[in-house]
Amino acid sequence: MNIDIYAFWSYDICPFCLSGKVESLFLDGAVSVEGFGCARFNPFMILYGEKGKDAHEYVQKLHTSYENETRQLKETLVKRANKKFDEILETEKMNVVDLLKIVASSTDEKEKERIIKEFEAYCKWKPKHNNTYEGKKEKYKGGAQN
C-alpha cells in the first residue's frame, strides 16, 4: 500500500509556510520534496493521506492568492503613481508657461536675463551618483557638516 506523505515547513513569505509531497525522509528529521530538487527541509508538520493532500492544496491556494493579490496591488499602486506623476508634470508645464509669460511681459532686460539664467540653471541641475550636483557652485555632500 502506497501512502502519500506531505511535509510543511516555515517560509518567510505569506502564507509563511510551504508544503510538498515527500520523496525522502532522513534520520535527522529532514525531508526532500518533489519539485524542490535536492533541497532538504526541516518540517514542523507531516501529514499523510487525504488530510495531507487537502492541507497541501490549501497552502498552495493561499500562496497563489497572495501572489495574485500582491500583483494586483502593485499594478494599482503603479497606476496611482503614474497618474500623480502626470499631474505633477502638468503642473510643472503650467509653471514653465507662467514663467515664460512673466519673461515676455517684463520690460527690464536685466530682469529677463536673470530669470532666463535661473531657469537654465534649474534645467541643468541633475543629481550625480557621488552626491554632487551640477548647476550648483558648491558641492553637496550628504549628512551633517561638522
- The answer as to whether 143 is a domain residue is no
Other C-beta atoms lying within 10 Å of the C-beta of residue 33 = 21
Number of domains in the chain: 2
Are 73 and 62 in the same domain?
no
DSSP E strand boundaries for 26-68: 31-33, 40-41, 45-48
Are 48 and 60 in the same domain?
yes
Tens of pLDDT along 12-34? 988 899 999 999 999 999 999 99
Q: Which H or E run contains 8?
A: strand 5-10
d(CA 47, CA 62) in angstroms, rounded, equals 18
Are 63 and 73 in the same domain?
no
For residues 8 and 44, is the Cβ–Cβ distance under 8 A? yes
* R_g over Cα of the chain: 31
Are 23 and 57 in the same domain?
yes
Are 83 and 119 in the same domain?
yes
**Residue range of the domain that includes 54:** 5-67
Are 119 and 76 in the same domain?
yes
Q: Which of 41, 67, 93 is the last residue of a domain?
A: 67
125 or 114: whose pLDDT is higher? 114
Q: Which of 36-40, 76-80, 107-111 has the lowest mean pLDDT?
A: 107-111
Q: Which H or E run contains 137?
A: none
Name the nearest CA neighbour of 119 among 144, 137, 97, 86. 97
